Amino acid sequence: MSVAELELGVTKLTRPQIARRAAELIPDGSFVNLGIGIPTLAANVMPAGKDVVLHSENGILGVGPTPPEAERDRDLINASKDYVTLLPGGSYCVHSDAFAMIRGGHLDLALLGAFEVAGNGDLANWTTGDRRFPPGVGGAMDLAVGAKAIWVLTDHTTKKGEPKIVNACRYPLTAKGVVKRIFTDLALIDLTEDGLLVREMVPGLTIDALQAVTEPKLTLAEDWQELAAA
């Protein structure tokens, strides 16, 4: 089955929908960092009543959703340089303190974007090595080794349809063996000791079709569910 056919066959999640599914699964009471890209969208789609404290590495704890345009504040942006708000109970801190939270193991979870994730949990998300596109590591290496768990939120394939979940990263690594769960526009996959376990797939997708755009061997969980767009 070609990528083109796959694209015809199913409705992929949008970027906010990927973020929403991850947001739904964040345990209540967690302290969570949202990385640049799809992850920062999670702040806007947090399920009502979920008491999660969002951390932004530029020095915010308790990040709230995007403000209306009239209430934008140039001093209140997140790591993606998008306008955000502060929730009651939120606070500002010095940059090095924001990273003490990360590096000291105080974050329960970080949601990160990826160029590639390998089956063993290796993550590559800071450089393609192409000099026309300067590298940008930002806080990715700090988050990757510092947060108690790493979830990756990403499109399942590159724009050219090539797998982003690979046997071994071709791009330079951000960190080794850190990714525990991947949310894509097609599936929710856990990286377990027994390999990649598919927990959820978008309606209409088959495990074979998903395997066709994924390098490492996938196993479908017995209790797998449909990945429903919220």
Partner 1 sequence: MPIDKITPSVAEAVQGVKDGMTIMISGFGFAGVPNDLIHGVLDSGAKNLTVISNNAGTGTEGLAALIGSGRVTRIICSYPRSKGSDLFDARYAAGEIELELVPQGTLSERMRAAGAGIGGFFTPTGAGTELAAGKETRMIDGREYVLEAPLRADIALVQAQEADRWGNLVYRKAARNFGPVMAMAADLTVVQVKRIVALGEMDPEAVVTPGIFVDRVVHIDNNREWDI
Q: Which of 10, 26, 54, 173 binds partner 1 (CB under 8 A)?
A: 173
Among 29, 47, 161, 203, binds partner 1 (CB under 8 A): 29
Annotated active-site residue in 7, 24, 57, 200: 57
The reply to whether 95 sits near partner 1 by the rule CB under 8 A is yes
Stretch that binds partner 1, among 12-20, 79-87, 182-190, 191-199 (CB under 8 A): 79-87
- Decide if residue 105 touches partner 1 (CB under 8 A): yes
- Cβ(128)–Cβ(171) below 8 Å: yes
Whole-number Å distance between alpha carbons of 218 and 197: 6
Of residues 153, 62, 63, 139, the one with CA closest to residue 102: 139
56 in contact with partner 1 (CB under 8 A): yes
In the residue annotation, 57 being an active-site residue is answered as: yes
CB of 223 to partner 1, least distance (A): 25
Segment 188 to 227, residues that bind partner 1, using CB under 8 A: none
User: Residue type at 43?
Assistant: A
* Longest CA pairwise span in the chain (Å): 51
Closest to 152 (Cα-Cα) out of 123, 128, 127, 176? 123
Which residue's CB is nearer to partner 1, number 127 or number 219? 127
- Binding flag, residue 68, partner 1 (CB under 8 A): no
Least separation in angstroms between residue 93's CB and partner 1 is: 7
Check residue 99 for interaction with partner 1 (CB under 8 A). yes
Under the binding rule (CB under 8 A), the answer on residue 57 touching partner 1 is: yes
Contacts of 223 (CB under 8 A, 6+ apart): none
**DSSP symbols for 26-62:** SPTT-EEEE-TTGGGGGGGSPPTT---EEEETTTEEE
Extract the tokens encoding 229: 């767009």
- d(C-alpha 175, C-alpha 52), whole Å: 26
Residues found in the chain: 230
First to last CA, the chain: 28
The correct pick among 42, 111, 114, 140 for binding partner 1 (CB under 8 A) is 140
Of 14-22, 126-134, 184-192, 203-211, the segment contacting partner 1 by CB under 8 A is 126-134
Instruction: Using the structure block, give the residue that is written with the tokens 């300067």.
Output: 134
Amino acid identity for residue 68 in this structure: P
Assess 125 for contact with partner 1 (CB under 8 A): no
Q: Out of 35, 113, 119, 146, which residue is the one contacting partner 1 (CB under 8 A)?
A: 146
- SS3 assignment, position 145: helix
Catalytically active residues, by annotation:
57
Query: Which positions lie near partner 1, rule CB under 8 A?
Result: 28-29, 31, 51, 53, 55-62, 73-79, 81, 86-96, 99-107, 127, 131-142, 145-146, 172-176
